[in-house]
């Protein structure tokens, strides 16, 4: 993953496991500090021992909040559409 470059990381907080693969690797949502910099929200697959990882995506906290707001709005609209479909199905 590091293309021969040295880097450090510390998982500050494990928030949740999003998926578990048959290989034992898990897609996780964590707060990770990379190279001693500000901790960021991080989504990627990790080996069971957390010593190997896949490519992933990181978000600064303000970016994560924007994403959360967008997802909340999306799911609110989706729920509204589901209720409308259910209502017309019952008529």
Give tens-digit pLDDT for 5-43: 789 999 999 999 999 999 999 999 999 999 999 999 999
pLDDT value, residue 1? 46
pLDDT value, residue 3? 54
Query: In terms of domains, do 5 and 17 share one?
Result: yes
Contact assessment for residue 84 and residue 91, using Cβ atoms and an 8 Å cutoff: no
Query: In terms of domains, do 27 and 68 share one?
Result: no
Distance between CA 90 and CA 42 in Å, rounded? 43
- What is the percentage of the chain residues whose pLDDT exceeds 90? 76
Distance between CA 65 and CA 63 in Å, rounded? 5
Strands of the 57-59 sheet, one edge to the other = 9-20, 26-34, 40-46, 57-59
Q: Which helix (H) or strand (E) holds 17?
A: strand 9-20
Query: What's the whole-number mean pLDDT along residues 59-74?
Result: 97
Query: In terms of domains, do 22 and 52 share one?
Result: yes
Q: What is the mean pLDDT of the chain?
A: 90
φ/ψ (deg, to 5) at 13 = -155, 130
**Residues of the domain holding 66:** 60-91
């Amino acid at each position: 993953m590091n293309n021969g470059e040295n880097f450090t990381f510390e998982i500050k907080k494990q928030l949740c496991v999003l998926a578990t693969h048959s290989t034992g690797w898990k897609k996780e949502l964590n707060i990770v500090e990379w190279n001693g910099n500000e901790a960021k929200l991080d989504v990627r697959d990790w080996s069971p021992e957390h010593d190997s990882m896949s490519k992933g995506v990181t978000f600064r906290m303000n970016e994560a909040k924007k994403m959360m707001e967008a997802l909340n709005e999306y799911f609110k609209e989706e729920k509204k559409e589901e209720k409308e479909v259910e209502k017309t199905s019952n008529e």
